Amino acid sequence: MAKTITRDVTCPSCGKGNAVKVYIGINTAEDPQLKASVKDGSLFVWECLHCGARHLTRSQLLYHDPDERLMVWLLPENFLSPQQEASVKATLEKHFINPENGLEGYSLRRVASIGDLIEKVNLQDAGLDDVVMEMAKWVTRNEVADKDRAHAEEILRAPFRFYRMDGPDNEIQLSFPLSGAMQVVNIGFNVYEDCRGIVQRNPSMKPQPGFVRVDADWIARFLQ
């Protein structure tokens, strides 16, 4: 069963109070339709009863896909105090790393935004590894910056995101914001394969047990 809580939230548009249902835990095997709602973002949208404005929820969420052995813990920045965060993390890891629970072999990931969670789910659906993809994004970001010297600084700071894999050659589409507009860059599957080879040859690039943030900062530690 999905876990929800009801939270009293003030509408940022009209200032009136709402009782908003917020998901804090979902299991995609039990509720496959909730996976679709994560992917299109609708799981996180609430509508004000008074003015109809739509806003995004801000909450923790434990996303569990038992078939894919994937667990993603969404925890927005500064949502919990450092002590609360450490305590929740310890509780989760005690449960999910404990071999007695039959949960070994899981990918445990931590993300700080809804967009990051959606990207993890999209990667899983495409059968792609997120460590390899972070490296492919790193390589691509540097190449794009090299070709567009005028915007190089902005490009090197931009968050690149896996969007989808498409076509007979498994072309990979990444998106990134530039000067207020979303850009799409296509990379060949060979870029991903090259990165996969490097990751496989470097055991230190295997995430540690526990809820790890595999993101641009994480991969940069190995590449700079």
Binding site for Zn ion (CB under 5 A): 11, 13-14, 48, 50-51, 53
Closest to Zn ion by CB, 44 or 138: 44
| C-alpha torsion sign, points 171, 173, 178, 181 | positive
Alpha helices per DSSP H over 98-167: 114-126, 130-147, 152-157
Q: How far is the CB of 173 from Zn ion (least distance, A)?
A: 36
- The Cα 166–Cα 218 span in angstroms is 27
The packing angle between helices 130-147 and 114-126, to 10°, is 110
Closest to Zn ion by CB, 53 or 156: 53
Q: How far is the CB of 12 from Zn ion (least distance, A)?
A: 8
Of 224, 38, 217, 39, the closest CA to residue 134 belongs to 217
Q: How far is the CB of 56 from Zn ion (least distance, A)?
A: 14
- The Cα 154–Cα 51 span in angstroms is 37
CB 4 within 8 A of CB 23: yes
Closest to Zn ion by CB, 44 or 162: 44
- The Cα 75–Cα 110 span in angstroms is 7
Closest to Zn ion by CB, 20 or 219: 20
Closest to Zn ion by CB, 48 or 123: 48
Q: How far is the CB of 9 from Zn ion (least distance, A)?
A: 10
Q: How far is the CB of 5 from Zn ion (least distance, A)?
A: 20
